[in-house]
Amino acid sequence: MTEEQKELSGKIFNPRNPQLKAIKRVAHNLCSDYNRTYEDDVEERGEILSKLLKSKGENVYFQGPIYFNYGSHTTIGDAFFGNYNICISDDAEVIIGDHVMFGPNCTLVTPEHPLIADERRYMTDENGELFGPCFAKPIVIEDDVWLGGGVTVCGGVTIGKGAVIGAGSVVTKDIPANTVATGVPCKVVREITEEDSIKKKPWLFDTQE
């Protein structure tokens, strides 16, 4: 297996491997290009994202700045909105559905390292060279999910369709569809019901003639 194949299959890999470093260098440079654009550089931003991401749907928007580790491991559906300062460490695969919203300062983190310090320091590859071992778990964010500002999603997590994650939460386990979940670690608070409709909150509307 190549190091990228190991990485995407959840096995220990060498993040210093030349193949992986080359992929990351391209992604980091494309992120820098994106971050130097203006909001009205719509066509240029779209072209950069097409080069950066594995695939993207229609109307994918990042306010910027953005930070991807690989980019080529991330798939984004239609009508995505990402606020300021989005970081996606996509060593494993990241799949984001349609009509997903990220608040500012959201982070998706797929990679992990050994918990035992000696194991974290180094391993030996097939050439006898030392490297700091890493492994990664995928993240899936289904359709219509809203991540509040400052949310961190850890590897191995699936967030179900229509779920809302409260600001500042750290998501370490799967979140069911159509629920509100908050906290560190993030836990389900309740289901989302018709009582949450803005139609039940007339004070939100301008009723002046």
Q: Which amino acid is at 179?
A: T
Q: Which amino acid is at 38?
A: Y
Strands 74-76, 94-96: pairing kind: parallel
Residue 194: which region, alpha, beta or left (left: phi > 0; alpha: psi -120 to 50)?
alpha
Determine whether 204 is exposed, middle or buried from the number of CB atoms within 10 Å of its CB (0-12, 13-18, 19+): exposed
Strands 135-136, 74-76: pairing kind: unpaired
197 to 160, 194, 204: CA distances (angstroms): 19, 5, 11
Q: Is 113 a catalytic residue?
A: yes
Residues paired with residue 202 on neighbouring β-strands, in sequence order: none
Which position among 28, 73, 99, 113 bears the catalytic label? 113
Peptide bond into 65 cis (omega under 30): yes
Q: Which residues are catalytic?
A: 113
